[in-house]
Amino acid sequence: MRSLAFALLLLLMAGAVAAAPSMNGYTGLLAVPTADSLRAGEVALGAYVLNQTAGRHTTYLGSFGASKGLEVGLTNVRFKAGPRETMLFAKYTFLSGEDGKTSVAAGIYDPTNEVESTAYFVASRSLKMRGTKAVNPRVHLGAGGGLLDGVFAGFSVDVGRALTAMVEFDGNKINGGARMYIMGMNLTAGWLDGLRRAVFGITYTAHLR
């Protein structure tokens, strides 16, 4: 009975699915970027925890919609065995994908090469899938260097009003997970590195203006 009441409470608090930061700070799925960006005046704060063979590490992030299509931010990564590193990032969506068109963006992560400088280009497009209950299925395809290591891809689909399921190829391995949107918060859980390493995240997005 308590489980049912808790589930109903989550549904009541749930809002519409919105773009959210990935574990690398930029708007995206788990590790790969999408062509979405924070809206002008939006700010996002949060943290991700990743379990690795060498130990757990935590990423703290902050990003800001500086203008239409442009988001900027930073991540601070605390490694279990090693120093803490701070990386800057920026992404610009120069085709917004309105009216069912393809969204296109380009970005840079860690331009000062604190860990591994990563430039990328990515396109996202909504699909029309008749005869299914899938809401807003989207494909994401891009190419980059550094952490993304060549061609990367992703697929996301909204399940109901507040849950997004996602799977991605980050250039090396397949990752998968889900994200729930509740009262401005995005709760993310997934598996990285060929579905072998658990990752958990919580971010909060708000409008400043």
Count the Cβ atoms, other than its own, within 10 Å of residue 19: 19
**Contact 156/138 with Cβ under 8 angstroms?**
yes
Looking at the domain 21-207, which fold is it? Answer: Porin (2.40.160)
Mean pLDDT (the chain) is 86
Tokens of 196: 């072998």
Rounded percentage of the chain residues whose pLDDT exceeds 70: 84
Kindly report, residue by residue over 71-96, the tens digit of the pLDDT. Answer: 999 999 987 767 789 999 999 999 88
Instruction: Give the pLDDT score at 134.
Output: 62
**How much is the pLDDT for 198?**
92
Band the pLDDT of 57: cuts 50, 70, 90: confident
Q: What is the pTM of this model?
A: 0.85
Q: 12 pLDDT exceeds 70?
A: no
Residue 30's closest CA among 207, 152, 183? 152
- For the chain, helix (H) and strand (E) counts, in that order, are 1, 12
> Which sequence spans correspond to the domains of the chain?
21-207
